[in-house]
């Protein structure tokens, strides 16, 4: 099941509140167990992460409980043109066509 986006799935909970987001994410864990399925929750990064050259779990918008209560976190980001060129990708490659996929350890 793919949920696009997390923030559209709840009312009355605060995105920046750890106890609230723990409750929201525990609901999805219960659904996954009950339905015997995986759930992919799409969520946005914070404004500071947009132009950052690094990726970390603090890039996620809102409470840290969103990441802490997730089994796996993946970050997608546009690759900057200087990195595209430094890894010897075709010079004609447009920046918006190359993304960096990063997983948290």
**Phi, psi dihedral angles at 60 (to 5 degrees):** -70, 140
Q: Tens-of-pLDDT digits for all 105 residues of the chain?
A: 999 999 999 999 999 999 999 999 999 999 999 999 999 999 888 776 666 666 666 678 899 999 999 888 887 776 666 655 555 555 555 545 655 656 655
CA distance 79 to 76: 9
Task: Kindly report whether the global pTM for this prediction surpasses the value 0.75.
Answer: no
How many domains does the chain fold into? 1
Boundaries of domain holding 71: 2-103
Strand ranges (DSSP E) for the chain?
Answer: 2-4, 40-42, 74-78, 99-103
Q: How many CB atoms lie within 10 A of CB 82?
A: 8
């Amino acid at each position: 099941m793919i949920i696009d986006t997390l923030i559209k799935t709840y009312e009355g909970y605060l995105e920046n509140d750890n106890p609230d987001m723990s409750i929201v994410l525990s609901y999805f864990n219960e659904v996954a167990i009950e339905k015997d399925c995986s759930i992919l929750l799409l969520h946005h990064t914070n404004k500071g992460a947009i132009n950052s050259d690094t990726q970390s779990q603090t890039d996620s918008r809102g409470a840290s409980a969103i990441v802490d209560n997730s089994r796996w976190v993946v970050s997608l980001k546009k690759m900057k043109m200087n990195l595209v060129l430094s890894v010897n990708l075709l010079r004609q490659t447009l920046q918006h066509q190359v993304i960096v996929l990063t997983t948290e350890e």
